Amino acid sequence: MKKLIFMFALIMSWQVLACRTDQVRIVRSTGFGLSIGGGNGAFQGGVSQQIEIPLRVGAQSGCMTQKSGLDFEVVSKNGNFKGEVNIYPPQVEFKKVSGDVRTYIKLNYTEKSEKLDSLSLDLVSFTCSGESVIAVESYSGNLKNAFQLQNFNMNVGMTIATGAAARNLRSRREESKRALGYDTVITEQLLEELETRMNGVKLEDIETEIVSIPSVYLSLSLQVGELNMANSFSTITATKYGCSKKFDSLMKDLRIENIKNQLKDIPLKSKVKSKYIQLKWK
């Protein structure tokens, strides 16, 4: 049996101490593995990260620590397809300032012979201080029973930028005219969903505070054939309404706390906990 095994792992880390008000720290780990042989295949991948950023809200200085992650495995064996996804939504801790994180997720799937054939997800989180947006983070993935055993492409992309480098990176990208921010942060599919819901809705009356935060931009993409995963985080965004009460009301059914409503019609097993969500199918 002819078999190909490929493994990739990259860990970038800085010393992790208590959240500080004078220093940006980023810890990220990512990796994936691929095995192919005898008409079968398996693909595993994942990313986890911790971001510590100082900020000022009004006259108060403080800092925040945001953690998140996603990992998955898909297996195609003897014509059968199964998979597992573990989602670790962004969680934020604030020091000396107050804030929270609001996460929305949309799942899409296709069936074949009454079994799950593919699953895609789009997730966006707004880190907030009151109704002011501090940062935006997104995850997306497309898990499909589509192993191209004879000919497949493999791509890995990563960007980590802070300060002037992050601002310069932003200036090289075309600024979106859309109200919610940049396509590079919020996935195109979810951005279209958000814009559709906001069409014709007035959101001018929001209570914002003056927030000062360093420029940070992170992105990651993994792709093998038609299987892919991506993550972006940015404090540089034109997003204005993501933390507003009206916006949250419009997006109520997509809140990650309400994901069970989306899972009712999808043929998979799920486990929903306070810190992670597990999805399995076969």
Write out pLDDT tens, residues 209-251.
Answer: 788 999 898 888 877 666 778 888 988 876 677 888 888 988 9
Please say if the pLDDT value at position 253 is more than 50.
yes
pLDDT at residue number 74:
80
Q: Strand 80-95 to strand 216-224: parallel, antiparallel, or no bridges (unpaired)?
A: unpaired
DSSP code of residue 255: B
Q: List pLDDT tens digits, range 61-105.
A: 999 999 999 888 888 777 777 888 899 999 999 999 999 999 999
> What residue type is assigned to position 147 of the chain?
F
Structure tokens at 247: 């916006």
pLDDT at residue number 171:
59
The answer to whether 207 touches 67, Cβ cutoff 8 Å, is: no
Rounded to whole angstroms, how far apart are CA atoms 27 and 17? 11
DSSP code of residue 264: T
Q: Which residue has the higher pLDDT, 191 or 271?
A: 271
Q: What pTM did the predictor assign?
A: 0.83
The answer to whether 122 touches 274, Cβ cutoff 8 Å, is: no
* Own/partner long-range contacts of 55-60 (Cβ < 8 Å, ≥24 apart): 55/97, 55/134, 55/211, 55/212, 55/213, 55/214, 56/97, 56/211, 56/212, 56/213, 57/97, 57/98, 57/99, 57/129, 57/132, 57/209, 57/210, 57/211, 58/209, 58/210, 60/96, 60/97
The SS3 call for residue 168 is helix
Residue with tokens 């002037």: 164
